[in-house]
Structures are given as structure tokens and as C-alpha cells.
Amino acid sequence: MKSWIEIEADSDFSMENIPFGIGLIQGNGKCICTRIGDTVIDLAGMARLGYFDHLGFKVSDFEKPVLNDFISKGKKSASRIRTIIQECFMESNSSDSDMALIKQMALHNASEIQMLMPVLVGDYTDFYSSIEHATNVGMMFRDPANALLPNWRHIPVGYHGRASSIVVSGAEIHRPKGQIKPATSEFPVFSPTMQLDFELETAFVIGKENPLGDSISTAEAEEYIFGMVLFNDLSARDIQSWEYVPLGPFLSKNFASVISPWIVTLDALEPFRCNGPGQQPEVLPYLQFDGERNFDINLQVRIKPENKEETIVSKSNFKYMYWNMSQQLAHHTINGCNMRVGDLCGSGTISGPDAESYGSMLELTWKGTKPIAMPDGSERKFINDNDTVIMRGFGKKDGIRVGFGEANVKILPVK
Ligand code: MN
């Protein structure tokens, strides 16, 4: 699809994308936006021009600080808005007078718009669904011969995280501090984390709620998934390894996690559907599914030291996920747990089979034993103060590119 808006060839925000986010627009406040190329489109402005009248949307439906109410109107509504935007911005479809009005009422340069948290996250769950990641961590922290715990191939393992500290790309986070037990001492010490790490993840946003007591089947699961974002689940490994038995991670994870501001819909990701890894042994019936449920999404992590160039430290892909999102959601609700609009489910660190495709510094440097050389001559075992961690992700197939933009976070010295 060609647009009358300029789109660079490698833009994440093609006409096939049309993601949803919340922008802060000078003079207009917070409103629902989408983006084509480097142009942010204020959907409240489009509504003022009457483009969504026939769908029953009012201007005020787009003047919102978060997407939750919009998402609650259903995936079909969002899908229709996406189609209208595509038609409206198609090169062949607009008259000069339409274009002039739209430019005046609804278009902004992306560099001038501050993107905000797209949803109010009620509950946040993080899974542990990459077999390569679970195997690597098991080898480092437990027994290399029995790296995967006996339940791993039967259960999409997950834990309930904390929603309050999920922040949007561009955040600055102070290095956390806490209890750490050095291997050489009998008792813990109190210290800034010396092993601050990223976790390369995606997350899906719940788009429809199920009543408490009901389950969502794998067949229905995608009706409940509004879209996806990039997700950096920051982790303090030294705090984690001391605290995580028996109830799992706590303060090592809840100090901050970072999402990309644009929610990319499953409609937009449709061209990148693919099969996931085969599952052996066969899973229980409620976790079985039909069709292609994984997505071929290239993922990348870069580290940018202050005032220096950025270096790629990891290249992975969402398609490596052993457990897919439909299985995660079916498992999450099999006991009757109710999901609510805006809830977020993290994939878990997405590592691939090669050493360059590992999704955390823990694995990339193998617990700090193989530091990464940076172009400025320094090395990284984990994340240093004043480093910015940049995550990117996009699908690309048959000339179509759909991407997420970035999830960035700068690490400041300990408070
Ligand atoms: Mn995680």
C-alpha cells in the first residue's frame, strides 16, 4: 500500500501497520493516535473531520489518557478504524482538499509528540516460555544435566508481576539496590545491584475480559488478545538469585519494566504468522491448538553508552517461543482466573539457539564470564550506569514491514 504520506523504506510504521498509542499533543492534551512513517495521526482530529461517525464513535472517544475504553469497544471496532485510516491515507484515495484538511487537523511530526503509557495495566503476568532461555538459566543456576525442570514442557510457567512500575519507552530508571549474598560470605550484604540485566521480551495486551470462573480456550484465545508491544523486563540478577527460592522473583524484577508505546494489532501481524517449535511430549488437551500460532518477528537489543554509538548485543526472534500466546492465555485462565482489558502478559525472555540470539546479558556473557567488547574499548558483563538499552522489533515479508518502534530505557546511578 502506497500512502500520500512519506514513508521511508525501512520504517516500522508502514500502511500495513497502523498501531494504536497515546500521544500528548500540544494544545489538545492526551489522545489516541496512530502513526504512518514519521507522521503521528491524531485520531481525535480525524474524528472531528467525521471519518468515524458511521461507526458510532464520538470525538471524546479519542480524547483519552489511555486506550482501555477504546480497546473495550472490541477488536472489530479497532479493526474498522485501522481500515478507514488505511483507505484515507492511500495515495490513490485522497483529494487535495481532504489532504489539506487532514494535515491541518490531525497530522503531527513524530519528533514533536511525546508518547505516553498506552494502557492502564491492571495486572501483569510474566511467562517463561522460551526453551532456550529456560535451558540456559537452568544450566547456570542449577544442574547442566537437568537444566529444564520436570514441569517445563507441560506447563507454560509464569508468575504474577507488578503493574505499577511498568513504564513507557524513554524512561530513566535508577539502578536498584537490595540484598545480595556474595558467594564467599555466609550472610547477605546490602548493595546496589552489580548485575543489572535486560530481558528481551514481547507482551500482549488483553482486549476482552472473561468472567471470573470461565476459561479461555486456545481456539478463542486470539479474540482476547488486542495486540503486542516490546517489553524489557529489567532484572537484578544478584538480588534475584538470593531471593527467588521458594516463591520466585520479587524485588529483583518489580523496580521497572519498559514497554514500547505503540500497540501493534494482531491484524497487522497476520502476514508474519508461522509455526512454533514442535512440542514433545504432547501437551494436555487444554493446551493443544490448531493452526499457526507463532509470529516471525525479528527482535534486537542495543546498548548505547552515554555520548557513544549504540552496539547490537542480541538478535533474536519471537518465533523461537516454545509456548505460544494462545497456550499462555488458555493456561492462565484454565482455573477460572479472569483477565481484564489492559492486562499485560510478558512472553518471558526470548532467546534463540545461537549465542548471539540470547535475550539477556546473563546468557550473552554467561553470568559475566564472557564479557561483550564495546567499540569504545570498554566491556559489558551487565548494564552499566548511564547506558541506554534499546529494543527494536519488526516483521518483514514479501515487501511488507510492520514494526514496533523502540522500547528504550536509560539506567541512572543508584539513588
Ligand atoms: Mn521476564
Nearest to 196 by CA among 217, 171, 176: 176
3-state class of 145 per DSSP?
A: helix
Tell how far the Cα of 3 is from the centroid of ligand 1, in angstroms. 38
DSSP result, 326-368: HHHHHHHHTT-PPP-TT-EEE------SSGGG-SSHHHHTTTT
166 - beta bridge partners? 257
How far apart (Å, rounded) are the C-alpha atoms in residues 43 and 20? 9
* Strands 388-397 and 400-412, bridge-based pairing: antiparallel
Q: 379-399 burial, b if ≥16 CB within 10 A, otherwise e?
A: ebbbbbeebbbbbbbbbbeee
Distance 232 CA to ligand 1 centre (A): 8
The residues annotated with a catalytic role in the active site are 133
Kindly list the distances between the CA atom of residue 250 and the CA atoms of 190, 235, 247, in Å, as whole numbers in the listed order: 16, 10, 8
Give all domains of the chain, ordered by start, each with its CATH number. 21-116 (2.30.30.230), 124-412 (3.90.850.10)
What pLDDT is stored for residue 8 in this prediction? 96
Q: What angle do CA 218, 219, 222 make, to 5 degrees?
A: 80
Centroid of ligand 1 to alpha carbon of 28 (angstroms): 36
225 CA from centroid of ligand 1 (Å): 19
Residue 354: count of CB within 10 angstroms of its CB: 10
Q: How far is the CA of 233 from the centre of ligand 1 (A)?
A: 5
Ligand 1 center from residue 314 Cα (angstroms): 16
User: b/e per residue, 220-238, with b = 16+ CB within 10 A?
Assistant: ebbebbbbbbbbbbbbbbb
* CA 346 to ligand 1 centroid distance, Å: 7
Indicate the pairing of strand 379-380 with strand 372-373. Answer: antiparallel
Between the CA of 355 and the centroid of ligand 1 the distance, in Å, is 19
Residue 26 has a pLDDT of 87
Centre of ligand 1 from the C-alpha of residue 128, in Å: 7
pLDDT in single tens digits along all 415 residues of the chain? 899 999 999 999 999 999 999 999 988 899 999 999 999 999 999 999 999 999 999 999 999 999 999 999 999 999 999 999 999 999 987 788 889 999 999 999 999 999 999 999 999 999 999 999 999 999 998 889 999 999 999 999 999 999 999 999 999 999 999 999 999 999 999 999 999 999 999 999 999 999 999 999 999 999 999 999 999 999 999 999 999 999 999 999 999 999 999 999 999 999 999 999 999 999 999 999 999 999 999 999 999 999 999 999 999 999 999 999 999 999 999 999 999 999 999 999 999 999 999 999 999 999 999 999 999 999 999 999 999 999 999 999 999 999 999 999 999 999 9
Q: State residue 161's pLDDT score.
A: 97
d(CA 102, CA 69) in angstroms, rounded, equals 25
The β-bridge relationship of strands 257-259 and 166-168 is parallel
pLDDT of residue 94: 75
d(CA 5, CA 90): 8
Q: How far is the CA of 121 from the centre of ligand 1 (A)?
A: 16
Q: Cα separations (Å) of 144 from 59, 201, 226? A: 58, 24, 38
How many angstroms separate the alpha carbon of residue 209 from the centre of ligand 1? 24
